[in-house]
Structure 1
Amino acid sequence: MMKMKTGTSPPVIGGGSSGNEWESRPGGMVVQRRTDQNSDVPRVIRVRVKYGSVYHEININSQSSFGELKKMLSGQVGLHHEDMKVLYKDKERDSKMFLDLCGVKDRSKLVVKEDPISQEKRLLAKRKNAAIEKASKSISDISFEVDRLAGQVSAFETVINKGGKVEEKSLVNLIEMLMNQLLRLDAIIADGDVKLKRKMQVQRVQKYVEALDVLKVKNSTKKVEVNKSVRHKP
């Protein structure tokens, strides 16, 4: 007696004479061909969605995803689409799943519930993004102020290097203003790219403070030299 080989054969896209026909969805996913349509033209179906004690009727493309359904429901139920979960036949459906592939048909009933966990995650992400934007703006404001102070550093440097003299109090005040910018930078809590921008500004301010310390020494030396020349004048 001959033994017959058993096993499963791969699905054939496009059908043929087999009863199980298959098709390719966007993104390359191969799924069983829909049985709720007679052509490739998507159907518009009406589904009833219950939220609390209220029913909402939605007209939607039968090939839409549950995520698209959530967005359509958002305004009607007063929930952000990321804060809700949709149940069909007592089973929660992923936002990326398609209505027709899960068996949703015309006049099917679904249930929407609030998802506290997703809501908390979204609010945390929103607060985090707001904090990042605030920190980024603060660093930008400080950078603008440091640009202004850098101009004064450059002016003092030009005068002293050419043999001139600057009032010491002006140098001290400029150092204090730069140190205040360092304190503002230290108060900023940041991560990632914003943290890197803060670090760059800190290094920049420190460089100007160090330059002013050198200028203070040169400036005070010139004062001593001037006093010596006055004493030795015949």
Structure 2
Amino acid sequence: MTVSQQSKSTTGELKKALAPRTGLQPSEQLVTYKGRERKNSEFLDRFGVKNKSKLVVSEDPASLERRYIERQRNARIQNANRAIGAIALEVDKLADQVTSIEKSVSGGSKVAEVQITTLIELLMRHAVKLESIPADADTSSQKNLQAKRVQKCVEALDVLKVSNARLQTVLVTTKWETFDNSPPVTTKWEIFD
């Protein structure tokens, strides 16, 4: 590609002019002339650039590495956010079950203890999953928020477990009692005037 530039321009100014054409920011470009990399502050005419001179513009390997590291970091953040989001959905479902148990126990209905214990175990599994998610500054607040939700649900279940144990079990049967000593049913009717 051909670029017109004043001979009194610096290499940095040349890089700025090349940025729209190359798609590389000036800090991502290396300009080489006669086998030597040129610094941004060097004037083109000072190192021998004349009309129709050929310069080599390439991508700085350090910028490639920085972009690679940034892509890796973004991918880690996205993966962490996805994992935290999936756990949040599961915790939502479990929190609904905790609310349902709270309503039952506060209404005087005894709940099977295994139901409370199972919910606690499921919540603790999610706490362990949350702990295993690597978090940096971008994801740590979301991770902490979900961990607090899990902890709050487990604490509520611990209190419900105690309240539930105090409730008496009510047994309802559908077997009807019959009385053998009852008077016989008659089908004769007497009429009184």
- TM-score normalized by structure 1? 0.58
| Residues in 2 aligned to 1:162 and 1:194: alpha-carbon distance in whole angstroms | 40
Q: Measure how far apart 1:213 and its partner are.
A: 0.7
In structure 1, C-alpha distance between the alignment counterparts of 2:17 and 2:85, rounded to whole Å: 38
Aligned to 1:220: 165
How far did residue 171 of structure 1 move?
0.9
Equivalent position SS for 1:109: coil
Q: Summarize the Cα distance change of 1:123–1:111 in structure 2 as closer, same or farther, 3 Å threshold.
A: same
Per the alignment, residue 159 of structure 1 pairs with 104
Q: What's the counterpart of residue 148 of structure 1?
A: 93
Q: SS at the partner of 1:163?
A: coil
Q: RCO higher in 1 or 2 (8 Å CA, sep ≥ 6)?
A: 2
Q: Which residue of 2 aligns with 1:190?
A: 135
Q: 1:132 aligns with which of 64, 70, 77?
A: 77
Unaligned 5+ runs, structure 1? 1-56, 228-234
CA 1:68 to 1:207, structure 2 compared with 1: closer, same or farther past 3 Å? farther
CA pair 166-185 structure 1, distance change in 2 beyond 3 A: same
Radius of gyration: which is bigger?
2
Question: Relative to total residues, which structure has the larger helix share, 1 or 2?
Answer: 2
What letter corresponds to residue 63 of structure 2 in structure 1? S
Q: CA deviation at 1:115?
A: 2.9
Aligned-pair RMSD on alpha carbons? 3.2
Report deviation, 1:120: 1.7
Q: TM-score, normalised to structure 2's length?
A: 0.69
After superposition, residues 170-189 of structure 1 pair within 5 angstroms as: 170-189=115-134
Q: Which amino acid aligns with 1:161?
A: S
The residue that corresponds to 2:54 in the other structure is: 109
Shift of 1:71: 5.3
Gaps of 5+ in 2: 172-193
8 A contact 1:86–1:113 mirrored in 2:
yes
Given that 2:123 and 2:154 are in contact with CA atoms closer than 8 Å, whether structure 1 keeps it comes out as yes
